[in-house]
Amino acid sequence: MQTGKPSQTALAAAFHRAAHQVLEQGRVFFDPLALRILGMEAQSVARRAKAKPSGRRMRLFIAVRTRFAEDALAAAFGSGVRQAVVLGAGLDTYAYRNPLGERLRIFEVDHPATQAWKRQLLRDAAIPLPSSLTFVAVDFEHESLAERLAAAGFDRCQQSFFTWLGVVPYLKEEAVWSTLAFIASLPQGSHIVFDYADPPESLSPDLRAGHEKRAQRVATLGEAWITYFDAERLHPKLAAVGFTEIEDLGPAEIVARYFPGRSGSVPDKGGHVIRAATTPVKESRS
Ligand SMILES: C[S@@+](CC[C@H](N)C(=O)[O-])C[C@H]1O[C@@H](n2cnc3c(N)ncnc32)[C@H](O)[C@@H]1O
């Protein structure tokens, strides 16, 4: 990220969510605050999104990853999770339309410059801050997430749910693993949902060309993609840090789950959304 400046890719992701509401009527992911937080009118969002048809793939992927994360959070709440952390929150609006209200404590963690900008946008849009929400400003590359969360009142003795959407590709792999190891060290029954991309060299020439264009664009914004994973290497490493459940949707699984009527071929490589969890301890019946 550029020093002292809010994340430009956070703005781009929020724009995609807003455009999904207008162009696809929020079919995959419905977010009544997506336009409001940006302070944009539906017509101008539609005009800008339609002017760039190549953005459709990314728009739908962002809708999918957010829907997947929120569905997983609802299921985790059903299993007793009462604390959630939105890592690299950007302009994510879950905390402001959280259907669980006070029953779910939420921490929004982000780079200080992005978080300050979001708070201003929330004020501009008159979106109230719920009392269940705590902001935590952290630079993942240079500060300890565990320490900053603890100082903000995060209870590390509770099973917890983390989302980390659109962030992993921007971080050094070492910073990614230290956060994953921290989450795996929390009480059993904790979860993380994040997204990642297959390495560019594993993509078909067509996909790779599209990928290189997007990669160049984000690099010029000062937010280069530097970390990729392949599932065969990622899953055993997740198991080694302590995750026992892994649900990984690659391109084919995403189409099957969220676009079942779609015809045509589906690439075998691309973006993934994954949930990793530690197994909850079963209460003994005596
Ligand atoms: C592409 S945006 C994704 C935002 C949001 N999760 C979403 O899906 O819309 C990337 C986010 O990662 C955050 N980020 C990038 N590098 C970071 C770092 N070193 N420390 C903290 N946050 C960082 C940015 O501030 C930004 O909010």
Beta carbon of 10 within 6 Å of any ligand 1 atom: yes
Predicted pLDDT of residue 2 = 77
Predicted pLDDT of residue 22 = 98
- pLDDT bracket for residue 269 (50, 70, 90): very high
Predicted pLDDT of residue 4 = 83
Centre of ligand 1 to C-alpha 195, Å, is 12
Centre of ligand 1 to C-alpha 128, Å, is 22
Give per-residue pLDDT as tens, 139-196. 988 899 999 999 999 999 999 999 999 999 999 999 999 999 999 999 999 999 999 9
Beta carbon of 111 within 6 Å of any ligand 1 atom: yes
- pLDDT bracket for residue 133 (50, 70, 90): very high
Predicted pLDDT of residue 82 = 98
- pLDDT bracket for residue 283 (50, 70, 90): low
Predicted pLDDT of residue 157 = 97
Beta carbon of 140 within 6 Å of any ligand 1 atom: yes
Centre of ligand 1 to C-alpha 265, Å, is 32
State the pTM of this model. Answer: 0.95
Centre of ligand 1 to C-alpha 233, Å, is 24
Centre of ligand 1 to C-alpha 80, Å, is 28
Beta carbon of 136 within 6 Å of any ligand 1 atom: no
- pLDDT bracket for residue 285 (50, 70, 90): low
Give per-residue pLDDT as tens, 233-249. 999 999 999 999 999 99
Give per-residue pLDDT as tens, 59-82. 999 999 999 999 999 999 999 999
- The 3-state secondary structure of the chain reads CCCCCCCHHHHHHHHHHHHHHHHCCCCCCCCCCHHHHHCCCHHHHHHHHHCCHHHHHHHHHHHHHHHHHHHHHHHHHHCCCCEEEEECCCCCCHHHCCCCHHHCEEEEEECHHHHHHHHHHHHHCCCCCCCCEEEEECCCCCCCHHHHHHHCCCCCCCCCEEEECCCHHHCCHHHHHHHHHHHHCCCCCCEEEEEEECCHHHCCHHHHHHHHHHHHHHHHCCCCCCCCCCHHHHHHHHHHHCCCEEEEECHHHHHHHHCCCCCCCCCCCCEEEEEEECCCCCCCCC
